[in-house]
Chain A
Amino acid sequence: MRIEFRGVAVSAEGRWLLQGLDLALEERRIGVIGANGSGKTTLARLLNGLVLPSEGSVLLDGLDTREAARAVRRRVGMVFQFPEAQIIHPIVVEDVALGLQLRGLPLAEAMAAARALLEGLGLAALAERTSHSLSGGERQLAALAAVLITEPSLIVFDEPTTQLDLANRNRLRDRIAGLEAQALVVTHDLELLADFDRVLLLEGGRLAYDGPPGEAVGRYRAACG
């Protein structure tokens, strides 16, 4: 998927969250790093139209998020940072099925597809679990399944490993590496980005660096002092 930011700026409540974003991204694995408040989450949310640019436009394969938000959301999935709020249904398999139901698929078919997907991901054990009983790592995996069910071209991860312990972080890393879809990952977890194709470093709402992960991480570390 071709991601384009054309003269994008985002402001809210009198301050600029992002400014001067002008670039095109087509790489398979893209990382976004930066300090808290640097605009990472805002950037992530521009990609599925949850946040609309105050200036300029964001295009996904030529679709403008301002005009075609629904079409964009068909192609872009998002895994959020907050584990408990992004699982909507009390039972995992039904939560995974929800994405298809929202597209109009009847319950029975959506459930069958959900079960098949969970099996394919090796997560069949989670299917009948209650959402509340899942551990943090399990929640992120369940959330990922719920996003994968609609086969998005791009999956945006907003700080997916922040609340996970080391073992779960590694598991999620492997999952992300194995995804067929394109992935853009906003993260503090610098190891996660090691094999990525391109990493963006944000500082104070502006793009401070754009290039290979090694360089970007180096600059970030230097800036952190």
Chain B
Amino acid sequence: MLSLYSPGGTPLHRLPAGPKLAGLLALGILLFLTREPLALGAAALAALALLLSTRPTLQALARQLAVTLLLLAFLVAANAWLVSAEEARVVGLRLLTLIAAATAVTQTTRPSALVAAIQAAFAPFGPRGRRLAFGLGLGVALVLRFVPEVLYRIVEQRQALAARGLRVSPLRLVVPLTVRLLRSADEVGAALDARGWPPDLPEPKRGPRP
């Protein structure tokens, strides 16, 4: 599955995933602490500049943001009409800033780097944390493994129904699909057990204990 990451060599690309995620979180909190139009305006400009610094292609941006920006536009209009111009400004600037910064991060960060950053966050929680981190990586992999499989089964099921002259109702689609999925869970579970789940993760190398 192709991600929304867009390879490039910009400064933001080179920044590691962890700080980017943390920065986004901090930004989100800070934005909701102020209503000052100057502060929010400056933030929005900075975020837009950041997004542009990642050298996005118009096509990529359009795909990702079209719906969200449209909704934002509606929201701002609704605020202006139903609440106040001030509220419209605050909401518009806050969300625009967040959306632009968030998109900039998505553009410049590989999914695998993000997964690794999240896994690293579990590291201080000992063996259970490390196993959880491993399981997370495996979980993401399994989803990506099975999405095309499930899509294929849906198409197959639709064809089977059509061949029998039955109308394709969501119910007739969903019931055999989920039964088959649960049976697949049995099989994948057995296969994973056979390979040696749960993982034997070694202690990370550390210095002398205090």
Contact = CB atoms under 8 A, between A and B. Distances in A.
On whether A and B touch (CB less than 8 Å), the answer reads: yes
Contacts of B202: 104
B141 A103 contact: no
Interface in B176-210: 184, 187-188, 190-202
A85 interface: yes
A140 interface: no
Nearest to B144: A90
A206 B127 CA distance: 44
Interface string A68-79: 001001100110
B128 interface: no
A84 interface: yes
Contact of B141 (A48, A94, A99): A94
Interface residues of B, number: 25
Contacts of A131: 145
Nearest to A76: B194
Contacts of B188: 85-86, 88
Interface in A5-32: none
A153 interface: no
Given A84-B149, A90-B144, A102 B187 contact: no
A93 interface: no
Given A90-B144, A94-B141, A132-B149, A82 B196 contact: no
Interface string B16-50: 00000000000000000000000000000000000
A112 interface: no
B75 interface: no
B194 to A, nearest CB: 4
A87 B198 CA distance: 17
Interface string A83-122: 0111111100010001101111000000000000000000
Contacts of B121: none
Contacts of A132: 145, 148-149, 152
Contacts of A50: 190, 193-194
Contacts of A150: 195-196
Contacts of A77: 194
Contacts of B201: 104
Given A101-B199, A104-B200, A132-B149, A88 B194 contact: no
20 contacts: A48-B194, A73-B195, A74-B196, A80-B190, A80-B191, A84-B149, A84-B184, A86-B187, A86-B191, A88-B188, A88-B191, A89-B142, A94-B141, A98-B195, A99-B196, A102-B195, A104-B199, A104-B202, A131-B145, A150-B195
